[in-house]
Structure 1
């Protein structure tokens, strides 16, 4: 348990900046690696479908290990855990960048994902030990701003690096950044006395296998739902069986207790529902541009810059507003703006141009900027002292599941409605309803014990 003795009286911005850059490295790996797939396929003689494992091998351990890693981090020294994670990312990046065979690329990406899960696990504990309670929304907003700005430049930068020096350089070019982040983190993150890096016990390993396996199998199921529905259904059954088995373990009680608590549980449901807006970015908008507007990926990319560009400058200010007016108030406002943005998307038709998409995506970006710092701060505020890592890991798992399910649900709605403008609107309705549910959940008063 994190004692009050380590709670700071004022914000230490150096560890917040280090955390933001570390989260940037971790989250950008989910997308920037996409530019390497053609080069990997060509140089290592693997099919385009096989190269998809470069992305999947990173996402699976990130989602599967987030909760067990969070429980482990709650008993560890966060500075040492931060150092372990960044060192693991560096070593795994070298392995991927120098891999002579495709299977080593996949192994390296699995290790990158596992190391990334540790950063997610120490995210909220570092905020707790570096920022007083009344400024945590602002600090989280700063972290999100750093991540968002990095996301804007990450993929184009990765493309330039791949064109100039090849796909291997994309995994190696970030090593100086990782080294700098590690140095700043080691100098600024407050060490928790009498803690080190405890070895995971048998119970924690069992929990990681069962719960992590359930999450990983569920994500694989949604990856197969369009092409192999029977296999996807079988995987869902297997995921449920593993989850039920895990729920009977004694080690599941802290997680289940946290999720069942009214304040945290409501925030988690809201996060799951509002994160469905990712289905617009990941599926509906690219297909609308390609099939309805007859545009290319460049048009989609330019349009999405307006979404990301609206998020970046607003997130830090939104975090400060959450500190002033309340996390739930700002989360409700942000999710409501997101619902309005989705409703506005329903008015897009075959005559739409870049400007028509751009201003609607700006509205969606504003909603995301208002919502994300507030909902993360709300989860942290609802977590009992000493369970901040668990709270962050649970939130990451739920967000990842939502970001996987949302494109699949959008694709089903698109296909069922016959594609085109009708299919786009059907998918938007699904997302809008989910976001509205996420807003409504936060409006229900929470009884304090």
Structure 2
């Protein structure tokens, strides 16, 4: 019989990448789409602003705490199988969010969404090596980065339109057709999980997963509660996270099949990739934390124009994703990583140095340089980190890569916000009361600090260049 077009390897690979792209788009979309619904949700459930924060925090905490465990579980039970389960859980939880009659039920559904999202984000990156040839890995990683940027950048605008036309429940129910399509594509086109030929399967490290999840949740809460002002609760949470992390590392040395072998993180190539990912994400959060205040209070833009200017960076990152992937395939991951970080350094330095008199153009142009090179860095670093990894390690290493990004984001929200507030409020008690010159000075100091962090990442890239992961490793992590 003649093969149909859907049976050809090239077409099957295309549909498989489409499934992985949707698996990145949906969790990213729900990271930002709920923000615009908070006022509507507060009215619907007669809840306070502090309560509404948990709509966002519950989702992000679930992803941060469980993404490494989800990646490792995929390595054990099968990445395709667990990805399908994650898509199904995310879709079902979205339905529950959209139908939730009470606030507590909405919170539970958001946690379930986060659990499904953790599996989707970790395993989408991990499965790239099984769906495309090695020489096209950069393009695939660039596409996944594009889908993540599209979801994050267009979530608020899509959410606003849906709420205006159909009410707050529609921002969750919109996931149903996307989830069903994603399930069909993944089930039909993703490669089957490999069967274990020795009949032996590593056990899942429940204790390690629980210890890591609790430690990460404590750290994320320490960085987010109090809006950057560290009080006794923040210090207690941060201390608990440090103690929990130490206990976790100690426990991992005693378990036959641990979640993460501490020695694995010491591998220079992997360690460098994780450090750079965390540093770059910390810096990118500055554009979201500092940008709105600078545009509103220093440049005196109204909210509509602030939103338009703020969308420029994510839009550039989304458009640059695919070309960035092609550059990675052409010039190599290590060289492209250094190019991306060098471009980010130049862009951030320009933001810190350009005078306020240049207005919006003096902010948008360098930020566009930063985000375009961020897309190149993301594609290159993901490719470098995931290349030459043993098949049974891809899930957990993808989880670690996503975790480093998430930790960078929550750290950046606190750290960059604290630097900006301290610099802009030297003579007043609150940023809202600062004069335009003070706000502009705070912005420049914050981006100067961000430039230093990217220089550190650049030095890390050069120091870790050309040092491969050691291939001979134990059968279990």
Tell me if both proteins adopt one fold, taking TM over 0.5 as the criterion: yes
Cα pair 1:141 1:316 within 8 Å, conserved: yes
Please name the residue that 2:167 is paired with. 166
Is 1:422 the counterpart of 2:441? The answer is yes
> Where do 5+ consecutive residues of structure 2 fail to align?
1-7, 426-438, 471-477
How far apart are 1:135 and its partner, in Å?
1.4
Instruction: Choose which of 271, 279, 285 in structure 2 pairs with 1:273.
Output: 279
CA contact (8 A) 1:89 1:115 kept: yes
Q: Which residue of 1 aligns with 2:364?
A: 358
Q: 1:344 pairs with 345, 350, 371, which one? A: 350
Of stretches 181-190 and 352-361 in structure 1, the one that deviates more from structure 2 is 352-361
1:437 aligns with 2:456: yes
Distance 1:18 1:340 in 2: 36
1:56–1:28 distance in 2 versus 1, CA, 3 Å: same
1:42-441 to structure 2, matched below 5 A, reads 42-194=43-195, 204-224=205-225, 226-249=228-251, 250=255, 251-252=257-258, 254-381=260-387, 383-419=389-425, 420-441=439-460
Q: Deviations along 1:82-120, whole A, 9 cap, x unmatched?
A: 210111011111111111111111100000001111112
**CA–CA distance in 1 between the matches of 2:390 and 2:204?**
22
Displacement of 1:203: 5.6
Contact 1:15 1:126 (8 Å CA) reproduced:
no
Q: Deviations over 1:306-351 (max 9, x none)?
A: 2122222321121122122111110111111111111011134443
Q: TM-score normalized by structure 1?
A: 0.92
Aligned match of 1:5: none
Contact 1:9–1:132 (Cα < 8 Å) also in 2: no
Report if the CA contact (8 A) 1:293-1:351 is conserved: no
Map of 2:5 onto structure 1: none
Distance 1:388 1:335, change over 3 A: same
- Judge conservation of contact 1:246–1:252 (CA < 8 Å) in 2: no
| Cα distance in 1 between the residues matched to 2:370 and 2:184 | 36
**Rounded Cα–Cα distance in structure 1 between residues aligned with 2:191 and 2:281:** 32
Secondary structure of residue in 2 paired with 1:100: coil
Is the radius of gyration larger for structure 1 or structure 2? 2
Secondary structure of the residue aligned to 1:167 is coil
Secondary structure class of the residue paired with 1:191: coil
Maintained 8 Å contact 2:337/2:380? yes
Q: Answer yes or no: is the 8 Å Cα contact 1:137–1:320 preserved in 2.
A: yes
Q: Following the alignment from structure 2 to structure 1, what is the Cα–Cα distance between the partners of residues 306 and 286?
A: 11
Give a deviation string over 1:333-385, Cα, whole Å, max 9, x none.
11111111110111344434322222122111211121111111111015333
Moved more, 116-125 or 210-219: 116-125
Please give the TM-score of this superposition, normalised by the length of structure 2. 0.87
Q: Does the residue aligned with 1:194 lie in a helix, a strand or coil?
A: coil
Contact 2:58 2:110 in 1 (8 A): yes
1:118-158 CA-to-partner distances (Å, cap 9, x unmatched) read: 11221233212101222111111122223333444332111
CA RMSD of aligned residues (A): 2.1
